[in-house]
Amino acid sequence: MGSVNNSSEDGEWKVVLNRRGRQGRRFPKYKAQEEEEQQQPWTPNELEVDSLRQSRLIQKMEISMKKLENSQFYAEFVGKIQAPEVLDHFRRVLGTESQLNMVIYGIGSIESYEPPRFQLSIAILLKKKFDWIGDIEVFDPVLSATESNVVTSLGCSVLSVNEQGRREAIKPTLFFMPHCEAELYSNLLQANWRTDSLSRIALFGNSFQTYEQHVVENKNSLNPRVISSTRRIIAVRSFTHEFAIETVSDDYFPAFHDSSWHFFCHDHPDSELPLVDS
């Protein structure tokens, strides 16, 4: 054990950003709904659990976790977390707490696609590896009842409310959000737009540096909605410590490319965050 103490609702695939040199790369995404629809009670569209599909999916998840755990990618992923500089940021997020719980948004359909299975697998493996990672909560509106049962059987819980990413970090929290849409990161930042709240967050997701670079390089041609959805991401960049991960294998590129760890505000505890239009 390590220690740190003293996609859209239809489940399809979509390009989140046309990053230079990565056009055509596709990965699962989760599209945030309108703000007035947030915090709505949620149940799967498909309510009946299929026992045969459930058994097959559990087997698929077991294969994914075993493959990932024995991979060079996972060894390097864990090594990145254990690097002194990164581990120190986790210590700062934890503060006086012994654990930080994990919230997974936008995992996608683990039954339909391999990348979401790898993403969920690595989250579960990290909980097993590090005793300072606590309970895991999972949400995506595309999850079926069968998938939800499998997620629960793997030791996680499935949220019964669609939070739209607007979870306030009352306690230290690890938000695990690989390849979510920009709107969802923006919602999370908006809900925690205070230095004390942001300092309680560790975020794994799309590179904020890449978002900023993309907007700067293409600001004259981007859709206004894209610019609006990334405004808060770019505004927090001066308060962000970002650590990129390497995929090192084509097997894991679709699930984890252009992903980073992000930590906020540790060097500027008394600074005020910039005003950003909602």
| Average pLDDT score over residue span 167-189 | 96
Mean of the per-residue pLDDT values of the chain: 86
Find the helix or strand (DSSP H, E) in which 87 lies. helix 84-94
pLDDT computed for residue 265 by the predictor? 76
Q: What is the pLDDT of residues 57-80, one digit of tens each?
A: 999 999 999 999 999 999 999 999
Average pLDDT over residues 127-134: 98
- List Cβ neighbours of 11 (8 Å cut-off, separation of 6 or more): 108, 109, 112, 142
Residue 175 three-state SS: strand
Distance, in Å, from the CA atom of 166 to the CA atom of 188, rounded to the nearest integer, reads 5
Of the spans 63-77, 219-233, 257-271, which averages the highest pLDDT? 63-77
pLDDT over threshold 70, residue 15:
no
The residue with greater pLDDT, 266 or 24, is: 266
Q: Are 106 and 141 in contact (CB under 8 A)?
A: no
Cβ distance 173 to 200 under 8 Å?
yes
| pLDDT value, residue 6 | 42
Please report the pLDDT score of residue 131 as a whole number. Answer: 97
Instruction: Report which of 229, 234, 251, 263 is spatially closest to residue 87, judged by C-alpha positions.
Output: 263
pLDDT at 159: 96
Domains of the chain plus CATH, in order, are 50-264 (3.40.50)
What mean pLDDT do residues 234-254 have?
A: 92
DSSP E strands, the chain: 13-14, 27-28, 40-41, 100-105, 133-139, 157-158, 161-162, 173-177, 201-206, 240-244, 259-264
Rounded to whole angstroms, what are the CA distances from 88 to 2, 59, 64, 82, 223? 13, 36, 30, 9, 38
Q: What is the pLDDT of residues 20-29, one digit of tens each?
A: 333 333 433 4
Which of 276, 237, 278 is closest to 260 using CA atoms?
A: 237
